[in-house]
Amino acid sequence: MDRNKALVTSRERMGDTSEFSLSVRLFLKAYRWHRIEPIPWTPLRKPLADCRLALVSSAGFVGPGQAPFDESIRGGDCSFRGISSDADVTTLIETHRSESFDHTGLHQDPNLAFPIDRVRELVQSRRLGSLNHRHLSFMGSITAAGRLVRNTAPEAARWLAEDNIDLALLVPV
Amino acid sequence: MCNQAVSLVAAELERQGIPTVAIQLLREVAERVRPPRALFVPFRHGYPLGVPGDAKRQHAVIEAALRLFEDQTLEPPALVDFKPHGE
């Protein structure tokens, strides 16, 4: 235990599997990751200052009145929520139930994984053209990714394609 | 799992004609899943933009991501390390 504690401490700032419990590490070692093949690629077609951006976060945030993500769904809740671009980030509710990471930072500052205040500032400084009227929120602890790949990821992409966004920034936790 | 989830959504966005950058916290997962355009950040899980309340650090990460959109030399899978001090 002391050895594990020392290992975690020595790497506390790294996103490394050593931060996880032994059972989580064993699960991750055996897990068959979904390999993206072929890899789709769309180049940016115009200057960022002319572009409309949407955020996609997997931190499990929901807005006031929205249903929380459902931890009881076997294989993970692959649904998503739209978050209005004028949302007050301090009103977002984090419903990610994973015990594999420290939630303290997200509670202190939701911008850590849903940086709506930061991208607003980038529009003000004209680094970005504009923000989409909505952003998307998932809860990322999805072990059975088939339904995400077949259903909700294409649906989410259709939402944003219909909004004519120019780029998306995706933030996991 | 979060790293994989955003990568799979990014791939679908790219398929539907939307350029993406996916932040990634685990290099080994990014190398296996292969999101099209990814920024690997050296932060703990739960802290993808670094430090809560530190707008300057959060902006540094987002700016690094925006530069990936602008870099026309990248090819998929593009997995680029975030350099905290711009070195």
Check CB contact of B55 with chain A, cutoff 8 Å. yes
- Return residues 11-40 of B near A (CB < 8 Å): 11-29, 32-37
| Distance separating alpha carbons of residues B7 and B5, to the nearest angstrom | 5
Q: Which residue of B has its CA nearest to A168?
A: B20
pLDDT digit string (tens) for B71-81?
999 999 999 99
Please indicate, yes or no, if residue A42 is contained in any of the structural domains.
Answer: no
Range scoring the smallest mean pLDDT among A81-90, A97-106, A107-116: A97-106
| Distance separating alpha carbons of residues B26 and B20, to the nearest angstrom | 18
Q: Which residue of B has its CA nearest to A76?
A: B1
Please indicate, yes or no, if residue A74 is contained in any of the structural domains.
Answer: yes
Angle at A26 between CA A21 and CA A31, to 5 degrees: 125
Please indicate, yes or no, if residue B86 is contained in any of the structural domains.
Answer: no
pLDDT of residue A30: 84
pLDDT of residue B85: 62
Domain that holds residue B10: 2-81
Q: Which residue of B has its CA nearest to A15?
A: B44
Does one domain contain both A146 and A113? yes
pLDDT of residue A14: 56
Kindly indicate whether the ipTM for this predicted assembly is greater than 0.95, answering yes or no: yes
A140: CB partners within 8 A, 6+ apart: A58, A59, A60, A96, A98, A172, A173, B1, B2, B3, B4, B5, B6
Residues of B within 8 A of A19 (CB-CB) are 44-45
pLDDT digit string (tens) for B17-63?
999 999 999 999 999 999 999 999 999 999 999 999 999 999 999 99
Into how many domains does chain B fold? Answer: 1
Contact B13 A168 (CB under 8 A): yes
Please indicate, yes or no, if residue A75 is contained in any of the structural domains.
Answer: yes
Does one domain contain both A162 and A120? yes
pLDDT digit string (tens) for A21-68?
888 888 888 899 999 999 999 999 999 999 999 999 999 999 999 999
**Closest approach of chain A CAs to the CA of B85, in angstroms?**
15
Nearest CB among B46, B51, B65 relative to A173 is that of B46
Does one domain contain both A8 and A56? no
Does one domain contain both A112 and A58? yes
